[in-house]
Amino acid sequence: MALQPASLSRRRFLQTASAAGLLAALPLRAAQPAPAAPDAPASARRARNVIFLVADGMSAGAFTLADLYRRHLCGRRCHWAARLETGGLHNGLMDTASASSLVTDSAAASSAWGGGHRVANGSINLAADGTAIEPLLVKARRAGKAIGLVTSARLTHATPAGFLANVDSRASEDVIAVQFLERGLDVGLGGGLKHFSPKRRVDHRDITKEFSAAGHSIVLDRAALLAAPPGDERLLGLFADDHLPYRLDHRADPALSATVPTLSEMTTAALARLSARPAGFVLQVEGGRVDHAAHNNDAAALMLEMLDFDDAVAAALAFQQQNPDTLVVITADHGTADPGLIGNGHADTGLAQIASFRSSFERMAATLGTEPTLIELHEHLVAGTGLPLTIEEVAPVLAAMSGHGTATYKPDRGAAPTLAAVLESYLAIGWTSTDHTADFVGFTAIGPGAEAFPPLVRNDAVHNHLLVALGIGR
Ligand SMILES: [Zn+2]
């Protein structure tokens, strides 16, 4: 049964989580971040709204490349960098570790912001002793605020979940979908329909139907999203069974653009609904596939995901300008594979080559037959990249694929790093690995409460700064 959002008291939250077999009757601990953020002076302005934008896996190198690519395409900086140049905001770095590792994953990173505690990689808002940590959006809901999650990954993926869920494994996405329903998510837009569908869920519950019964309009493609009446304040939009397809893959399959909205369109749709609510809102927006493209060392896919994210940043900044009582945060959860433009002699022309790409590595792998010949692989990669690759250049890629049983460019068990190394002589983009990194990431805040963030902020300290800015108790 779906809970009415207004009834989601602290006691009810605990009951709900326990009923889902998650908390095992353990006490609910109030978030106590370390170090604690200073309380706001009485005269400080409160933030009515928070928009928290995260590009998953965006290292400083990915941000730099996106800015350079936007300048190549449009002759102007990306929106985030342009806003940084104007000043009048907080900008610094974030320390990204988790409780279990110097190198965090998305589940622990989002939990640090969402709950105020560092937790083990792979878990969502559960302390080491199993105690459930109340997430930010539950607190915001109790304070009367509307709550929203927007992502280009599955809606139940780790980063959105860190603001509203408690599970011991990020893989428990069927459970996370139920928690979103029971905890009163007002607007949820992204991919991951399979975790809401009775045909795909282990328990065969129809979660979209239950959202509808709870008062949500349900939209399943871009046209329906854009046509939905703005007066429908509660909205669930699921635009793919899994993650949304890479923006790059819209080049090879233009029909995708008719069915899959951009991150900016989803952000604008969410803001139109959440801002109509009387007590303000908290919205997380995730560029979820930045991380996936970086894991694959797929520079072209990464650039288009970064521009998609930057357009969502523009939508949020425009909203903030019209609604200055809004705190906007722009950051990343960790670096992934740390790409960089390198001085190999092609640096000034490399990014222009991205225009020739037609497919992500992921799509190229999916459309290549198993055990291709060298000639077949060569034709396939020339078609996918649009580059004049030679047979000699493609041969190491085939060698890297051999022994894996399937034609895959996935990291670590396939040929993605080898293909990326071949492309380095064209694109001038190098990579450190196919994994997450411990790098500090950029952290920008604009609006009421922005001035309180220190120049280097721990990820688990962000939570309390948001609570103080919103005037919500711990
Ligand atoms: Zn990742």
Q: How far is the CA of 292 from the centre of ligand 1 (A)?
A: 6
Provide the 8-state DSSP code for 230: T
Question: Which comes out higher in pLDDT, residue 45 or 36?
Answer: 45
Check residue 2 and give its pLDDT: 34
Say whether 154 sits in a helix, a strand or coil: strand
Say whether 6 sits in a helix, a strand or coil: helix
> Which uninterrupted H or E stretch holds 362?
helix 361-367
Q: How far is the CA of 61 from the centre of ligand 1 (A)?
A: 16
Residue 414 and residue 365: Cα distance in Å, rounded?
10
Residue 329 and residue 286: Cα distance in Å, rounded?
12
Q: How far is the CA of 97 from the centre of ligand 1 (A)?
A: 14
Non-local CB neighbours of 171 within 8 Å, separated by 6+ positions: none
Comparing C-alpha atoms, which of 90, 7, 68, 46 is closest to residue 303? 68
Check residue 194 and give its pLDDT: 98
Write out pLDDT tens, residues 41-100: 444 589 999 999 999 999 999 999 999 999 999 899 999 999 999 999 999 999 999 999
Check residue 361 and give its pLDDT: 95
Residue type, 466: L
48-339+441-470 CATH choice from 3.40.50.720, 1.10.760.10, 3.40.50.300, 3.40.720.10: 3.40.720.10
Distance from chain centroid for Cα 389:
33
Per-residue pLDDT for 435 more than 70?
yes
Residue 89 and residue 5: Cα distance in Å, rounded?
34
Check residue 22 and give its pLDDT: 42
Q: How far is the CA of 344 from the centre of ligand 1 (A)?
A: 28
Residue type, 236: L
Non-local CB neighbours of 435 within 8 Å, separated by 6+ positions: 103, 295, 336, 337, 411
Residue 271 and residue 282: Cα distance in Å, rounded?
10
Check residue 231 and give its pLDDT: 84
Lowest mean pLDDT among 30-34, 93-97, 158-162, 401-405: 30-34
Lowest mean pLDDT among 40-44, 59-63, 353-357, 434-438: 40-44
**Mean pLDDT (the chain, rounded):** 90
Per-residue pLDDT for 32 more than 60?
no
Check residue 8 and give its pLDDT: 38
Q: How far is the CA of 105 from the centre of ligand 1 (A)?
A: 6
Do residues 451 and 102 touch, judged by C-beta distance below 8 A? no
Check residue 371 and give its pLDDT: 84
The domain limits of the chain are 48-339+441-470, 340-430
Calculate the dihedral angle through the C-alpha atoms of 80, 81, 87, 90, rounding to the nearest 10 degrees: 60
Q: How far is the CA of 92 from the centre of ligand 1 (A)?
A: 23
Do residues 160 and 282 touch, judged by C-beta distance below 8 A? no
Residue type, 335: G
Average pLDDT of the residues in 442-458: 97
Q: How far is the CA of 149 from the centre of ligand 1 (A)?
A: 19
Task: Count CA within 13 A, CB hemisphere, residue 241.
Answer: 6
Q: How far is the CA of 152 from the centre of ligand 1 (A)?
A: 14
Calculate the dihedral angle through the C-alpha atoms of 384, 194, 160, 446, rounding to the nearest 10 degrees: 60
Check residue 76 and give its pLDDT: 94
Question: Which comes out higher in pLDDT, residue 430 or 5?
Answer: 430
Residue 389 and residue 229: Cα distance in Å, rounded?
49
Q: How far is the CA of 58 from the centre of ligand 1 (A)?
A: 10
Angstrom distances, CA of residue 163 to CA of 150, 160, 181: 12, 6, 14
Do residues 167 and 158 touch, judged by C-beta distance below 8 A? no
Identify the band that residue 232 occupies on the pLDDT scale cut at 50, 70 and 90: confident
Q: How far is the CA of 40 from the centre of ligand 1 (A)?
A: 35
Q: How far is the CA of 33 from the centre of ligand 1 (A)?
A: 25
Per-residue pLDDT for 18 more than 60?
no
C-alpha torsion sign, points 199, 201, 203, 209:
negative
Question: Which comes out higher in pLDDT, residue 5 or 326?
Answer: 326
Identify the band that residue 1 occupies on the pLDDT scale cut at 50, 70 and 90: very low
Average pLDDT of the residues in 304-323: 98
> Could you tell me where the DSSP H helices lie in 144-203?
158-161, 173-182
Q: Please identify which residue in the block is written with the tokens 């970064």.
A: 306
Check residue 473 and give its pLDDT: 78
Average pLDDT of the residues in 225-237: 93
Comparing C-alpha atoms, which of 241, 293, 236, 296 is closest to residue 55? 293
Non-local CB neighbours of 30 within 8 Å, separated by 6+ positions: 134, 474
Check residue 294 and give its pLDDT: 96
Q: How far is the CA of 294 from the centre of ligand 1 (A)?
A: 8
Write out pLDDT tens, residues 254-294: 999 999 999 999 999 999 999 999 999 999 999 999 999 99
Q: How far is the CA of 436 from the centre of ligand 1 (A)?
A: 6
Q: How far is the CA of 189 from the centre of ligand 1 (A)?
A: 20
Q: Please identify which residue in the block is written with the tokens 């979209």.
A: 208
Q: What are phi and psi of 429, to 5 degrees?
A: -115, 125
Residues 290, 293, 299: CA angle, nearest 5 degrees: 105
pTM (two decimals) = 0.91
Per-residue pLDDT for 449 more than 60?
yes
Question: Which comes out higher in pLDDT, residue 90 or 28?
Answer: 90
Q: How far is the CA of 465 from the centre of ligand 1 (A)?
A: 26
Q: Are strands 456-458 and 335-336 parallel, antiparallel or unpaired?
A: unpaired
Do residues 416 and 396 touch, judged by C-beta distance below 8 A? no
Check residue 3 and give its pLDDT: 33
Q: What are phi and psi of 186, to 5 degrees?
A: -80, -50
Write out pLDDT tens, residues 113-144: 999 999 999 999 999 999 999 999 999 999 99
Comparing C-alpha atoms, which of 343, 342, 432, 415 is closest to residue 59? 432
Do residues 237 and 225 touch, judged by C-beta distance below 8 A? yes
